[in-house]
Amino acid sequence: MNLFERLVWQQNPDRIILDDLIFDLGRLRQARVGDGDDSFIFLKERRMLDQYAALWGACPPPAGGHMLELGIYDGGSIAFWCELLQPARCAAVDIMPWGNTPYFDRFITSRGLGDRVTCHWGTDQADAAKLQSIVADDLQGQLDLVIDDASHQYIPTKASFETLFPLIRPGGLYVIEDWSWGCWPNLPEDFELAKGSEPDRLIAEIAVAAGRMDGFIIGKGPCHTLAPLVNRVTIMSDIAVVERGPADAAKVPGFTLVSYTTRRK
């Protein structure tokens, strides 16, 4: 089943209708605080959602999984994924200190999600200790899916990946959105990021890390099986999807990409 068949696309204004939820595809509102009474702000292009549709079509999300989202603006993406994927638990962080909009609160109440969805406002995606505590407490130590739509900058995006990726269960997914903005000929006005902070080099580092399998050997003898930490990297124009391999997370304490991308001497 195509999960995205449930979406109703409207124009003038550009909106998505999902069940009784309204997602406004317009750019950022001038005033975020106190706004959001009648819809969510949904800052995703249709082409990105088409890529997600292809992803979930080829690799259906686990039923009842636990997910963490980085960067939520007004909570619209949480509502979108909760409605489509039906995770058992969902946690989210955003660096802005805004808090929930009335529309988001009504969504949580109408679905009875008060004990299953948690938002951490004013939280930096690079705060490793905070992210680890969210996984341990809000998600009960289980992590199946991470979607990073936060800073879109190399250093904090890398920090989040190094903290969270080893915590994902084998077979789980880590999605990095808008990884390719450094290649765009024209950036949207609300996408003002410093030159040199492009995250595309992070995707290259992760791809190289997929080839690192030494130190994770299952079994003995000539027929042993190598167990990688990064199992697969799928790159689309707007999203990069990293699949967690079977390596034991306990064997990779203090995981860093540099330790996985250093060439042999």
The ranges assigned to domains in the chain are 3-261
Burial zone of 83 (CB within 10 Å; 0-12 exposed, 13-18 middle, 19+ buried): middle
Answer positive or negative: Cα dihedral of 51, 23, 65, 209: positive
Question: Do 73 and 105 contact (CB within 8 A), yes or no?
Answer: no
User: 30: pLDDT confidence band, cut at 50, 70 and 90?
Assistant: very low
Question: Do 40 and 46 contact (CB within 8 A), yes or no?
Answer: no
What was the pLDDT predicted at 148?
98
pLDDT averaged over the chain?
A: 86
Over the stretch 228-255, which tens digit does the pLDDT of each residue have? 889 999 999 999 999 999 887 776 667 8
> How many CB atoms are closer than 10 A to CB 147?
23
- Taking Cα atoms as reference points, which of 224, 83, 120, 244 lies closest to residue 172? 244
What was the pLDDT predicted at 255?
83
What was the pLDDT predicted at 258?
86
What was the pLDDT predicted at 41?
87
Dihedral-angle region of residue 138 (phi above 0 means left; psi in -120 to 50 means alpha; beta otherwise): alpha
Tokens of 44: 């995703």
Q: What are phi and psi of 82, to 5 degrees?
A: -60, -40
The arithmetic mean of pLDDT across residues 130-159, rounded, is 96
What was the pLDDT predicted at 189?
63
User: 43: pLDDT confidence band, cut at 50, 70 and 90?
Assistant: confident
Does residue 140 have a pLDDT over 80?
Answer: yes
Does residue 136 have a pLDDT over 60?
Answer: yes
> How many CB atoms are closer than 10 A to CB 193?
16
What was the pLDDT predicted at 83?
94
Does residue 193 have a pLDDT over 80?
Answer: no
User: Per mean pLDDT, which range of 127-136, 144-153, 193-202, 245-254 is the poorest?
Assistant: 245-254
Element (H, E) at 121: strand 117-121
Element (H, E) at 120: strand 117-121
| Domain 3-261: assigned CATH number | 3.40.50.150
Question: Do 152 and 181 contact (CB within 8 A), yes or no?
Answer: yes
The arithmetic mean of pLDDT across residues 126-144, rounded, is 97
* 228 or 202, higher pLDDT: 202
Dihedral-angle region of residue 224 (phi above 0 means left; psi in -120 to 50 means alpha; beta otherwise): beta
What was the pLDDT predicted at 135?
98
What was the pLDDT predicted at 7?
93
Does residue 259 have a pLDDT over 60?
Answer: yes
What was the pLDDT predicted at 31?
45
